[in-house]
Chain A
Amino acid sequence: MIMIRYILHRFMWAIITLWATITITFIIMHSIPGDPFAKEGTMTESMYENLQRYYNLDKPKIVQYVIYLKQVALLDFGPSIKSKTLTVNDYIEKGFPVSFHLGAQAMIIAIFFGLILGVIASLYRNRWPDYTSMIIAIIGISVPSFVLATLLINFLAVKWSFFPVATWKSWSHTVLPSIALAMMPLAYIARLMRTSMIEVLNQDYILTAKAKGLRKNAVIIKHAIRNALMPVVTVLGILTANVVTGSFVIEHIFGIPGIGEMFVKGIMNRDYPVILGSTVFYSAILIFLIFIVDVVYTWIDPRIKVTGASK
């Protein structure tokens, strides 16, 4: 019962957050310079007006705003300005499964190897396994994904032909982009896990557990790792939201039909419906994942309890 009330409460706030996001995006979007129909070619006055009318841009801003809110309430994000073929809904429907697939694979790699590296580093603090893990982590964070992607393509695909260069046709096509996309979150998780583990290992209850004569592995797995996971879970929501909504750079380099490009190209083209649609979509995903993370807290840490509306 408390849980249901909690969910309803969160849902209401999610709607309000989304509304605020739409409003702010709408205002910013219309105040930046650049016209969606400007081009380096012939454009008569009347052609321009036809286009404005076609996309409802001839109406006063406030009317456009109300029309848009109505559309979004019906989950219709409208037509794209740059494409007469795909609507914003098409972009999301076709692109999101692809980005999600890629993102999910990347997150598996990132979580799995990130946690292992982090734990190893903390257990062998200031010894060579720690240094090795942290060098990997630093490389992961500091090498931009386009450099890594290019290197992967150049060696694993062009020179040694283990994998296809690019495009999205079969599972083997997904390997290189997944690795390239995983490096950043992997490194992040590893570093966070290391710090968190070290802190936990210095806690009194670990000493107690050891004093009680528990085996080392039991202490580490049952007591240390579980508690050390808390900060990792916290960032996992945001990391996952970032990764599953696609990466412009990775999708661009590997020619992957995901939604990563929507965010960047929408703004470059001043494609208003795409800008709004992608912002709303991203916000919704982020709000949902943060909610999941909050629920997961209560699972992992019994000290956190849902107590209805927060005051």
Chain B
Amino acid sequence: MKRNKFSFFALVIGLMVVISGCNSFGETEKTSTKDSGKSDGKKEAVEKVLNLNNSSEPGSLHPGTAEGTHDSWILEHAFEGLTKKTPEGEIVDGMASVPTSEDGINWIFKIKEGMKWSNGDPVTAHDFEFAWKYALAPETASEYAYQLFYLEGAEAYNAGTGTVDQVGVKAKDDTTLEVKLAQATPYFLDLTSFYTYYPVNKKVQEENPKWFTEATSYVSNGPFKLTEWKHKESVKLEKNENYYDKDKINLDVVNFVILEDENTAWQMYQSGELDLAYPLPQDVQGQLAQSNNKEFHNGPDLAVYYYNLNNDVKPFNNIKVRKALSLAIDRKTITENVAQGGQQSAYSVVPPGIPDVNGDYQENTGNLFTEDVEEAKKLLAEGLAEEGMDKLPEFSILYNTLAGHQKIAEAVQEMWRKNLGVTVTLENTEFQVKLDREKAGKYQVSRAGWVGDYVDPMTFMDLWTSDNSHNDANWKNAEYDQLIKEAKQTMDQQVRMDNMHKAEKLLMAEMPIIPIYFYTKPHMVKEYVTGVYTPINRYPQFIYADVDMDAKE
């Protein structure tokens, strides 16, 4: 009995040692031996491996239910749509040849010959029809179904008021896909390269509806295939030998570690465990951007950071008050000293990088207002007088809890205090709560951001129409609605762009929201990695990347 008492502790510790000796690492060892044996075919070539981090476990690697960059970064390399984009941003043939459409409503895609899935099955038009209809089905409950609402009858089917047969996509035969849209959409080709429009192997999904949850059953049609997925730990892609353009693909293996902490990812990059790091910690970005580091790259981003003003709340219903608040913000100080990621100050809402009829849309827009503290003071006094107030009541800036947002809110708070003598408080909540409050209109000023879905100014411009669910500023303007409506109904680029430029001017003249800056995508790539490019609406792409394995050693 006496001995038991100590042996108990020995037992507990012993047991823990045994348990911790057990393997909770999955099958790491196996893969490394497999790798070394595989390169025999190609004259003793060293395998080209790229290591990088994905900032979250993918929620779904199914094109129909994927809904974020943690899903799409992998999907964009494992799949290919009807069309694809070159590193220069040009839309070229993908699975199908690029068609033209007279009316912008009827589109006929011809699947190219010899297109194969990673399991060897041919890619057919039926796979596209199946995938799009699956994403739209109400039972699927896809959060990205709206991406397909351009198709005729799509929204009705998703809402349960229409049938699946009324959806405007039909495979006439194995190689012909007929698409009918609800209305003319000039940027539809751009959309066909987006991940919600990727095909799904119909046969595979019908046999195993959960094919996309494990690497063993995963089938895709892009440059890479998924060969290992250790949930919440790592994802491994390998070159897809069945890909038609495989000769242009240099990488053999791509390893993603799933790592949420940016600081850790940065440290792994420094210690050489990663070859590409994105996103970077905020303070590191600032230092790197100023250091002329050759590994530092800054790509454009199709996104704008702005503040909503609740137009239903007095005195934010007054244009002059809203303008005064906007004019009193020093954006250069925010981008250079606070955000520090090489962002561009925003004096309009559509970010640079979107083609206009001629040139760049944002450059053609130019600055739609200029910061001016004196003017701001004057406007505020006038605006308040119009509203019968002698002083701007205290209000709060609502933002979701994140150090970066807090720093910016603090800077704005100080600028408004100093320039306008306004007392502002800061209020942070969880993201879900912030969204709730915005929808319910229970806020005065709130931080927001918008990432464009496709490369056309419309992805930003239709946010502030009266009926848009994202119009949290609750701004309503009939003229604006009319301009956007007209732009949506025509295929004439000149008319569309003119209307959107006019609408944007109107928006900035009334200032229901305060644009602050256009996002960028600062990332680090080791010098021995070449061929990485960053499309405006995608994460850095490594489809055609190459790694100099000698230099890496």
Nearest Cβ on chain B to A281's Cβ, whole angstroms = 16
Q: Does B155 contact A (CB under 8 A)?
A: yes
Interface hits, B10-26 → A, CB 8 Å:
12-13, 16-17, 19-20, 22, 24-25
Which residues of B have CB within 8 Å of A46? 138, 155, 158-160
Contact assessment for B432 and A300 in the assembled complex, using a CB-CB cutoff below 8 Å = no
* Cα distance, A252 to B57, chains bound together (Å): 12
Known: A83-B57, A105-B16. A257 touches B432 (CB 8 A): no
Contact assessment for A268 and B430 in the assembled complex, using a CB-CB cutoff below 8 Å = yes
Contact assessment for B431 and A108 in the assembled complex, using a CB-CB cutoff below 8 Å = no
Q: Which of B20, B159, B260 contacts A44 (CB 8 A)?
A: B159
Q: Which of B4, B260, B432 contacts A270 (CB 8 A)?
A: B432
Q: Which of A84, A94, A168, A270 contacts B25 (CB 8 A)?
A: A168
* Cα distance, A44 to B160, chains bound together (Å): 13
Q: Does A107 contact B (CB under 8 A)?
A: yes
Contact assessment for A35 and B158 in the assembled complex, using a CB-CB cutoff below 8 Å = no
Nearest Cβ on chain B to A304's Cβ, whole angstroms = 13
Nearest Cβ on chain B to A36's Cβ, whole angstroms = 7
Residues 147-162 of chain B: 1 if any A CB is under 8 Å from the residue's CB, otherwise 0? 0010000010011100
Which stretch in A6-14, A95-103, A195-203 binds the other chain?
A95-103
Contact assessment for A169 and B8 in the assembled complex, using a CB-CB cutoff below 8 Å = no
* Cα distance, A82 to B60, chains bound together (Å): 9
* Cα distance, A101 to B437, chains bound together (Å): 41
Q: Which of B5, B58, B59, B143 contacts A300 (CB 8 A)?
A: B5
* Cα distance, A84 to B64, chains bound together (Å): 11
Contact assessment for A84 and B65 in the assembled complex, using a CB-CB cutoff below 8 Å = yes
Q: Does B407 contact A (CB under 8 A)?
A: no
Interface hits, B447-503 → A, CB 8 Å:
448-450, 469-470
Which residues of B have CB within 8 Å of A51? 141, 143
Q: Does A111 contact B (CB under 8 A)?
A: yes
Contact assessment for B19 and A100 in the assembled complex, using a CB-CB cutoff below 8 Å = yes
Contact assessment for A83 and B60 in the assembled complex, using a CB-CB cutoff below 8 Å = yes
Which residues of B have CB within 8 Å of A85? 58-61, 212-213, 231
Contact assessment for B432 and A36 in the assembled complex, using a CB-CB cutoff below 8 Å = yes
Which residues of B have CB within 8 Å of A97? 22, 24
Contact assessment for B267 and A165 in the assembled complex, using a CB-CB cutoff below 8 Å = yes
Nearest Cβ on chain B to A34's Cβ, whole angstroms = 4
Contact assessment for A108 and B60 in the assembled complex, using a CB-CB cutoff below 8 Å = no
Contact assessment for B231 and A257 in the assembled complex, using a CB-CB cutoff below 8 Å = yes
* Cα distance, A100 to B19, chains bound together (Å): 9
Contact assessment for B8 and A300 in the assembled complex, using a CB-CB cutoff below 8 Å = yes
Contact assessment for A53 and B141 in the assembled complex, using a CB-CB cutoff below 8 Å = yes
Q: Does B357 contact A (CB under 8 A)?
A: no
Q: Does B227 contact A (CB under 8 A)?
A: no
Q: Which of B20, B140, B234, B273 contacts A165 (CB 8 A)?
A: B273
Nearest Cβ on chain B to A156's Cβ, whole angstroms = 11
Which residues of A have CB within 8 Å of B432? 34-36, 38, 268-270
Q: Does B264 contact A (CB under 8 A)?
A: yes
Q: Does B257 contact A (CB under 8 A)?
A: yes
Contact assessment for B59 and A84 in the assembled complex, using a CB-CB cutoff below 8 Å = yes
Nearest Cβ on chain B to A239's Cβ, whole angstroms = 12
Q: Does B108 contact A (CB under 8 A)?
A: no
Q: Which of A43, A108, A226 contacts B16 (CB 8 A)?
A: A108
Q: Does A254 contact B (CB under 8 A)?
A: yes
Which residues of B have CB within 8 Å of A150? 263
Interface hits, B398-457 → A, CB 8 Å:
430-433, 435-437, 439, 448-450
Known: A166-B264, A166-B267, A253-B264. A35 touches B273 (CB 8 A): no
Contact assessment for B159 and A255 in the assembled complex, using a CB-CB cutoff below 8 Å = no
Which residues of A have CB within 8 Å of B187? none
A-B contact count (CB 8 A): 180
Q: In this complex, what residue of A is CB-closest to B442?
A: A33
Q: Does B552 contact A (CB under 8 A)?
A: no
Q: Which of A44, A112, A165, A253 contacts B13 (CB 8 A)?
A: A112
Q: Does A157 contact B (CB under 8 A)?
A: yes
Which residues of A have CB within 8 Å of B22? 97, 101
Contact assessment for A50 and B233 in the assembled complex, using a CB-CB cutoff below 8 Å = no
Nearest Cβ on chain A to B253's Cβ, whole angstroms = 15
* Cα distance, A302 to B259, chains bound together (Å): 50
Q: Does A139 contact B (CB under 8 A)?
A: no
Q: Does A207 contact B (CB under 8 A)?
A: no
Q: Does B207 contact A (CB under 8 A)?
A: no
Contact assessment for B233 and A257 in the assembled complex, using a CB-CB cutoff below 8 Å = yes
Which residues of B have CB within 8 Å of A307? none
Contact assessment for A299 and B5 in the assembled complex, using a CB-CB cutoff below 8 Å = yes
Which residues of A have CB within 8 Å of B231? 85-86, 90, 94, 257
* Cα distance, A255 to B12, chains bound together (Å): 28
Q: Does B270 contact A (CB under 8 A)?
A: yes
Contact assessment for A101 and B24 in the assembled complex, using a CB-CB cutoff below 8 Å = yes
Contact assessment for B146 and A38 in the assembled complex, using a CB-CB cutoff below 8 Å = no
Contact assessment for A165 and B271 in the assembled complex, using a CB-CB cutoff below 8 Å = yes
Of A82, A166, A299, most buried by chain B (CB within 10 Å of CB) is: A166
Of B17, B264, B273, most buried by chain A (CB within 10 Å of CB) is: B264
Which residues of B have CB within 8 Å of A41? 143, 470
* Cα distance, A193 to B98, chains bound together (Å): 75
* Cα distance, A45 to B8, chains bound together (Å): 60
Which residues of B have CB within 8 Å of A268? 430-432
Which residues of B have CB within 8 Å of A303? none
Contact assessment for A254 and B264 in the assembled complex, using a CB-CB cutoff below 8 Å = yes
Q: Does B505 contact A (CB under 8 A)?
A: no
Q: What are 27 A-B pairs at a CB distance below 8 A?
A: A34-B432, A34-B436, A42-B146, A43-B146, A46-B138, A83-B60, A84-B62, A85-B60, A85-B231, A86-B231, A101-B19, A101-B24, A111-B12, A157-B271, A158-B271, A165-B264, A165-B271, A166-B261, A168-B233, A170-B28, A254-B264, A255-B260, A257-B233, A268-B430, A268-B431, A299-B8, A302-B1
Q: Apart from A40-B448, A83-B59, A157-B267, what are 13 other A-B pairs with CB-CB below 8 Å? A: A35-B435, A38-B439, A39-B435, A42-B469, A44-B149, A47-B141, A85-B59, A85-B213, A98-B24, A101-B24, A111-B9, A164-B273, A252-B261
State the B residues within 8 Å of A (CB): 1, 4-6, 8-9, 12-13, 16-17, 19-20, 22, 24-25, 28, 57-62, 65, 138-143, 145-146, 149, 155, 158-160, 212-213, 230-234, 257-261, 263-264, 267-268, 270-271, 273, 430-433, 435-437, 439, 448-450, 469-470
